[in-house]
A and B are shown apart, each in its own frame.
Chain A
Amino acid sequence: KAGVTQTPRYLIKTRGQQVTLSCSPISGHRSVSWYQQTPGQGLQFLFEYFSETQRNKGNFPGRFSGRQFSNSRSEMNVSTLELGDSALYLCASSLGGDSNEKLFFGSGTQLSVL
Chain B
Amino acid sequence: LAKTTQPISMDSYEGQEVNITCSHNNIATNDYITWYQQFPSQGPRFIIQGYKTKVTNEVASLFIPADRKSSTLSLPRVSLSDTAVYYCLVGDLGSSASKIIFGSGTRLSIRP
The residues of B with any CB-CB pair to A shorter than 8 Å are: 32, 34, 36, 41-46, 49, 87, 92-94, 96-98, 100-105
Contact = CB atoms under 8 A, between A and B. Distances in A.
A31 interface: yes
Interface in A71-114: 88, 90-92, 94, 97-108, 110
Contact of B100 (A88, A99, A103, A106): A103
A105 B43 contact: yes
A105 B41 CA distance: 12
B46 A104 contact: yes
Question: Number of contact residues on A: which range applies?
Answer: 20 to 34
A17 interface: no
A64 interface: no
A20 interface: no
Nearest to B89: A103
A58 B44 contact: no
Given A42-B103, A45-B100, A56-B97, A110 B43 contact: no
